Structure 1
């Protein structure tokens, strides 16, 4: 598995890097949220733009991203618009989704951009390539809030993301049983052994919480933790996450 360095953060080995999402609905809320998040010392910042009440206003989105970048100069910034179909806050037309990703990438307003490659499958490979040519790192993602695919299907999805040229390969699932969690972990280990790209996987909710803390063992290189509030079920508070990951690292040494 390769290591990707963005700003001064090396992602892909050692302790999983902690990414804290910003989920404020207004500019004022996000500004206040950033103050709280800074206290946790995150490795990366994700802006969940689908929470933003003015997300349909491109200029407002770009202005907000500029403010986020100004406040987190040392941290890689991940731009995400999670669609309603994959567990996000808002519906968006595919053409508007693509336009948004291209615009923030072209303006150099984000380090990493999240692309839901199976939600927009018709031209996903071309979109990934175009965004990379604009100079951003592409995180391919797929989210299953209704259940957990088989180990084979998870592994195949991660393989496809890699074949389509994504820099990071991310999949999130919702477990119904303990066996579902094991399927996600087994698929992660399998792809870690075969993939050239960093992998990010998680099993959501209370049942899947184990998957968020064992990435150093399984090969999941980023874990998402809650700052002011969580952006997905099962996220652990960032300060608690840091302690747990450090303790696990000491045990594994």
Structure 2
């Protein structure tokens, strides 16, 4: 049964960045032991491997992670992906993951080509797997008008989850971004993953459910974005505030 990200409901996701099969198994075990809601496999860190071999690995890690959900992310090099591969190559492996029921969600960049997104959406029909459409701004926070336009485009493209990551420089950036995300959330029924990167935006990683989002990414193994906290830090801070973790 598919593990679901719920609107305005806190959930923790541990990103993993294995380079080979041995590291994949070890990192899935370590992440699962922390009992998060989800693991995100950043597939772009992984070594080249045949598609059928990867599908076998997805089957094996499903047994290891048990009730922990999986987000499969083969990140584009245009938005922080490590592997310098063509879009067609990434699409082949994403479709392979969907075909073998390997993940609960697939993360795809909003700015992917129309053909790329159409291929993913076609593969998801009648599958228990959701679509996260994402966009990343590593140098700035975009305007409120831009945020609403981004979310509207994601909705139009069939996203089950809207994901937007931005880099604030000041507290004013943080306040304005949070206000815009919360306002946007009142117009859309689907869950939002909103991340303000770096130390300045740390509140969105601790209290995503209070700042317009749902899922928060926290580390057990390696960080995959500026400002990520550990699972234990996020839980400790929430507990200190009297908030259920």
With structure 2 as the length reference, what TM-score do the two structures score? 0.90
Q: Mark the CA change 1:88 to 1:245 in structure 2 (over 3 Å): closer, same or farther.
A: farther
**SS state at 1:11 partner:** coil
Q: Are residues 1:37 and 2:48 paired?
A: no
1:206 aligns with 199
Q: How does 1:200-239 map to 2 (within 5 A)?
A: 200-239=193-232
CA RMSD of superposed structures (Å): 2.1
- Inter-partner Cα distance in structure 2 for 1:6 and 1:184: 31
Q: How does 1:102-251 map to 2 (within 5 A)?
A: 102-118=95-111, 120-123=112-115, 126-127=118-119, 129-135=121-127, 136-248=129-241, 250=243
2:30 equivalent to 1:27: no
**Separation (CA, whole Å) in 2 of partners of 1:128 and 1:158:** 19
Task: Indicate if the aligned counterparts of 1:85 and 1:91 stay in contact, CA closer than 8 A.
Answer: no
List per-residue Cα deviations over 1:137-177 (Å, max 9, x = no partner). Answer: 11111111132211221221012111211100001112233
Question: How far is 1:246 from its partner?
Answer: 4.0
Shift of 1:39: 2.6
Residues matched between the structures, number? 243
TM-score by length of 1: 0.87
Q: Report the Cα offset of residue 247 of structure 1.
A: 4.2
Unaligned runs of 5+ in 1: none
* Residue of structure 2 equivalent to 1:71: 64
Residue 6 of structure 1: aligned partner: 2
- Alpha-carbon distance in structure 2 between the residues aligned to 1:114 and 1:36: 22
